[in-house]
A and B are shown apart, each in its own frame.
Chain A
């Protein structure tokens, strides 16, 4: 009985340690083999990729602080990012991922906002950037939010 207990505890500790020692972190289903598309290409012709399964690669420069349900992946050009949105609770990106090199895979999607939704999004962005001069009436066209509906990702810390 004592031997069995020792073996069980050892197996448990080894199994946990094995997971903790892995160098790169895999989220969700990881990445399989979809085509890698440059962020600049995606943002230049976003409608051309809608519905396609693809990969993006770059540094994670933002993460959802509430539930880890998205990351922003930096592009090959300064200031350009794409959002990788994942199902709440299914994949959780931790704050530590920021600054890591990420390969994320998923389906490129477009979410067409109504004018009211566009105003709300613009108001939130204005608040975030401390823009006190934001005027909702100045927003007259609807916005489309593009994102990669992520199925998996692999993050590597430099």
Chain B
């Protein structure tokens, strides 16, 4: 038993250090994406409304250069789309302009990746697939080892037979009770 405890302690310590970075990634992103209905966890979005001299609703080939000149776009244009008779959309890196050709009203939409959050969410949601799938699987394996070795670290009153056991029971009961309630409601 002493040897078993020693192995558990070594595994828990070494893998625990290894898991710090990834745990922070998954914890921060977990909170961020849990509240995806409250905010855009990946992008900051902006809208600036302004106006230009109305270019008129003539043929696209005629109004397009006029619009680009009046907008004063300084970044490369990715594409231009005549969404309707009155609306011309200009797509650029990091945003788009929605131009009302009849009134000259311009909606300048911008977006930018949120520092840190975009990256941790990308990892958490495994948006890039391989090679992150392997890393995430390995991390899940590490968490399993941490969970299985943790209860055996301490003996006695604060261990599995005492307070530690009660805490562990609570931690297991929480998802089990939730799962049962959910099943009953479905």
Contact = CB atoms under 8 A, between A and B. Distances in A.
Interface string B35-51: 01000101101000000
> What DSSP secondary structure best describes chain A's contact surface?
loop
Contacts, number: 50
A89 B82 contact: no
Interface of B: 36, 40, 42-43, 45, 60, 77-79, 81-85, 89, 91-94, 96, 111, 125, 127-128, 130-131, 135
Given A65-B45, A96-B93, 8 more contacts: A19-B130, A19-B131, A61-B81, A66-B40, A67-B36, A74-B81, A92-B125, A95-B111
Contacts of B82: 78-79
Interface of A: 12, 15-16, 19, 59, 61, 65-67, 74, 78-79, 89, 92, 94-96, 98-101, 157-158
Nearest to B111: A95
Residue among B85, B89, B125 with most chain A CB within 10 A: B89
B138 to A, nearest CB: 11
A59 B79 contact: yes
B111 A158 contact: no
A79 B101 CA distance: 14
Contact of A12 (B36, B45, B131): B131
